[in-house]
């Protein structure tokens, strides 16, 4: 009998995704694994037990996890689940360790070798394993769909015998994976799209998708990107100028989508309450960072809030899970691609090479200890999460901003920076960083 891979049903009521597909089950069997899928694991992703069984899986129960050498999950297992895990089992999932020191310590205590898929390095070899890119891509798409649904008007311009329906104006804040897909989706639906980011390379990316780029393009802006492609912290003077331009622009928009996240910190506040108050009744804001505190003042996790001036702020949780059937297929392939690197091809057995760059980047716990350098003291010295960067720092307050944007210097020649095939994210980092070649 070969080694066993177990695919459990996710216990979180807000998590409809599953960590396998019929295709990946077949390929796992080809790697030499016996595959057990918990009954009902794929139901909310439109994958029946019968489909998994036809692909070669055994349909089992939750207790079968005790037999597993490898457990593939979407979300980090909790302590009640870990009680049944075999010591030494490899557990691969989106671990979300920041600010969850007790949960990380519980993984170590359970004796499992845990891998955090969101730490996958952005290198060519790991493109197919980049879960943040695959899921953020779908989140960007769904954000536009959710925004359009709440907007309750047509997005494209329509010229009819009864009159003309004007095109909706959509503003994307943050041009990372989610932001780029949101731009592309909004453009396909016929909206007039603008986008902003403090990285000069983003201007070309935005233009390539048919949208207009919005930024104060002064000398500081030209030097606002690090060698690694990330945004530099901007001066307060630049922030004030950009705030004035952004505040004036937001007031004219029909839909605003925000995507900014910073690993290990609450999401930066990009849209102040004053900016929300300046928008027209019926306008919509979709906050993709709501699970980490939100980019928008007034956003509430899991709810659609209507402000006093009639603006809807959409704060859906687990946005990729809102398109679970697609998200699960992509996520399952990400996991399979990574697991393949952990298998010895000749013996068809799990053989974790702890000096491999992918293993070193993603391994969170091993041998009863927290081994990732960023969390090595999680069981001794709990992490204290810093406060969110306030809206007044990130974008200033609309009420304090000048009525007119600061004068802009003549447009400079096209940036000499090569077009990045791996654009990092928004004002600081997008809703999800991405690997090279992700749209």
What domains lie within the chain, and their CATH numbers?
Answer: 4-130+322-370 (3.40.50.720), 141-320+387-394 (3.40.50.720)
Going by their DSSP bridges, the two strands 34-38 and 4-7 should be labelled as parallel
| Residues facing residue 58 across a β-bridge | 36
Q: Per residue in 180-215, pLDDT tens?
A: 999 999 999 999 999 998 778 889 999 999 999 998
Q: Which of 89-98, 222-231, 287-296, 418-427 has the lowest mean pLDDT?
A: 418-427
* Residue listed under structure tokens 């006093």: 308
Q: Do 365 and 85 form a contact (C-beta atoms < 8 A)?
A: no
The residues pairing with 179 across neighbouring beta strands, listed in sequence order, are none
- pLDDT bucket at 220, cuts 50 / 70 / 90: confident
DSSP string over 280-310: PTT-EEEETTGGGT-SBTT--TT-EEE-TTS
For 332-366, the pLDDT digits (tens) are 999 999 999 999 989 999 999 999 999 999 999 99
Question: Contact 48/37 with Cβ under 8 angstroms?
Answer: no
Buried b (16+ CB within 10 A) or exposed e, 77-99: beeebbebbbeebbbbbbbebbb
Across 117-129, b (16+ Cβ under 10 Å) vs e yields bbbbebeeebbbb
Q: Region 27-43: what's the mean pLDDT?
A: 97
Rg (CA), the chain: 23
Quote the DSSP letter at residue 421.
S
Mean of pLDDT values over 106-135: 96
| Bridge partners of residue 193, in order along the sequence | 170
Contact 330, 336 (CB under 8 A): no
List the single range of 29-33, 205-209, 385-389 with lowest mean pLDDT: 385-389
Neighbours of 153 (CB within 10 A): 12
In 3D space, the residue among 308, 266, 310 whose CA is nearest the CA of residue 287 turns out to be 266
Q: What is the pLDDT of residues 389-398, one digit of tens each?
A: 444 444 433 3
d(CA 42, CA 19): 8
pTM, to two decimals:
0.83
User: Lowest-pLDDT range, 44-58, 253-267, 388-402?
Assistant: 388-402
Q: How many residues does the chain have?
A: 439
Closest by CA to 246, choosing from 204, 196, 296, 192, is 196
Of 152, 402, 386, nearest to 282 by C-alpha is 152
Catalytic amino acids?
Answer: 122, 127, 130, 133, 230
71 touches 39 (CB < 8 A): no
């Amino acid at each position: 009998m070969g080694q066993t891979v177990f695919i459990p049903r996710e216990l979180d009521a807000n998590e409809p995704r599953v960590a396998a597909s019929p295709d990946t089950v077949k390929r796992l069997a080809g790697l030499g694994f016996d595959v057990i899928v918990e009954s009902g694991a794929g139901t909310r992703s439109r994958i029946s037990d019968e489909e998994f069984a036809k692909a070669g899986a055994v349909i089992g129960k939750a207790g079968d996890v005790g037999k597993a050498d490898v457990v593939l999950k979407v979300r980090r297992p909790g302590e009640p689940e870990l009680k049944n895990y075999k010591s030494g089992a490899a557990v691969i999932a989106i671990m979300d360790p920041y600010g969850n020191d007790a949960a990380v310590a519980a993984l170590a205590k359970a004796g499992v070798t845990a891998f955090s898929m969101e730490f996958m390095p952005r290198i060519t070899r790991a493109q197919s394993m980049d879960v943040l890119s695959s899921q953020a891509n779908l989140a960007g798409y769904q954000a536009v769909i959710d925004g359009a649904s709440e907007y309750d008007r047509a997005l494209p311009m329509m010229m009819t015998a009864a009159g003309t329906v004007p095109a909706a104006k959509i503003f994307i804040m943050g041009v990372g994976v989610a932001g780029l897909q949101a731009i592309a989706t909004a453009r396909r639906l016929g909206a007039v799209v603008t986008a902003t980011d403090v990285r000069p390379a983003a201007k070309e990316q935005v233009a390539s998708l048919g949208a207009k780029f919005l930024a104060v393009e002064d000398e500081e802006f030209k030097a606002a990107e690090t060698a690694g492609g990330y945004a530099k912290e901007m001066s307060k003077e630049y922030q004030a100028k950009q705030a004035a331009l952004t505040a004036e622009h937001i007031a004219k928009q029909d839909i605003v989508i925000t995507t900014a996240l910073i690993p290990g910190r609450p999401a930066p506040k990009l849209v102040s309450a004053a900016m929300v108050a300046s928008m027209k009744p019926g306008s919509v804001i979709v906050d993709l960072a709501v699970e980490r505190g939100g980019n928008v003042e007034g956003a509430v996790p899991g709810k659609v809030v209507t402000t006093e001036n009639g603006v809807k702020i959409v704060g859906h949780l687990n946005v990729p899970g809102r398109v679970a059937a697609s998200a699960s297929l992509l996520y399952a392939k990400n996991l399979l691609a990574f697991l393949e690197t952990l298998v010895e091809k000749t013996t068809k057995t799990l053989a974790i090479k702890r000096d491999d760059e992918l293993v070193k980047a993603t391994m969170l716990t091993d041998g009863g200890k927290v081994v990732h350098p960023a969390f090595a003291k999680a069981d001794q010295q709990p992490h204290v999460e810093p406060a969110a960067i306030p809206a007044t720092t990130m974008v200033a307050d609309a009420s304090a901003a000048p009525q007119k944007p600061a004068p802009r210097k003549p447009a400079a020649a096209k940036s000499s920076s090569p077009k990045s095939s791996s654009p990092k994210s928004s004002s600081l980092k997008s809703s999800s960083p991405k690997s090279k070649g992700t749209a």
